[in-house]
A and B are shown apart, each in its own frame.
Chain A
Amino acid sequence: ELKVEQNPLFLSMQEGKNYTIYCNYSTTSDRLYWYRQDPGKSLESLFVLLSNGAVKQEGRLMASLDTKARLSTLHITAAVHDLSATYFCAGIPNTGNQFYFGTGTSLTVIP
């Protein structure tokens, strides 16, 4: 089993600001995933991180993975309203084959 903890659970930020969402996990894993869910919608994949030190960027979002610290981060640069959504991280433990999800971070970007 992999316990995945995200923080913060709720985040309200102003447009133009930067912020980071943290995802800590409980056991050895080098497979970490980030998903986005808009209200009333399904989840869509943002990033797949498959090795220590992996960094992926798409637009204003950048994800990284530090397997030694058991930590992944999702950094938001110059937030815009369209980024308002719930963000989930998920991981697969090295000894298993299931995806385990965090509880999600609900992000609201305020004009």
Chain B
Amino acid sequence: DADVTQTPRNRITKTGKRIMLECSQTKGHDRMYWYRQDPGLGLRLIYYSFDVKDINKGEISDGYSVSRQAQAKFSLSLESAIPNQTALYFCATSSGEEKLFFGSGTQLSVL
């Protein structure tokens, strides 16, 4: 089983719909992150959490919210999806400032 699991793998939705992307990890890491990847732009940080009671905005948090339900679970929500949120979304974990471990990604398309 994967150490960092994202669901769903693919999602197509319509403008204005609420969407939740889920991430769970079995690595026992305290730190969890949500990134989005767009062609030519690399990875940009949306939100990150260093423990269950800690939530921080990243570079591009507008239009997104997160919930850290447990040490192992970190979900990303789009309250009202818009087309420019079409992207590949990655969840990642780390132990301190050691390397990031990434999930398989969620390809989201907003029509």
Contacts and interface: CB of A to CB of B under 8 A. Distances in A.
Contacts of A26: none
Contacts of A92: 97
Classify chain A's interface size: 20 to 34
B109 interface: no
Contact of A103 (B41, B98, B103): B41
Contacts of A41: 104
B45 A45 contact: no
Contacts of A88: 42-43
Most buried by A among B44, B48, B100: B100
Contacts of B90: 42-43
Interface residues of B, number: 23
A45 B42 contact: no
Given A35-B100, A90-B100, A104-B42, 4 more contacts: A42-B104, A45-B100, A99-B33, A102-B42
Interface of A: 1, 4, 9, 31, 33, 35, 41-45, 48, 88, 90, 92, 97-104
28 contacts: A4-B42, A9-B40, A33-B99, A33-B100, A35-B100, A41-B104, A42-B102, A42-B104, A42-B105, A43-B43, A43-B100, A43-B102, A44-B102, A45-B99, A45-B100, A48-B99, A88-B42, A88-B43, A90-B43, A97-B97, A98-B45, A98-B48, A99-B33, A101-B35, A101-B42, A101-B43, A102-B42, A104-B42
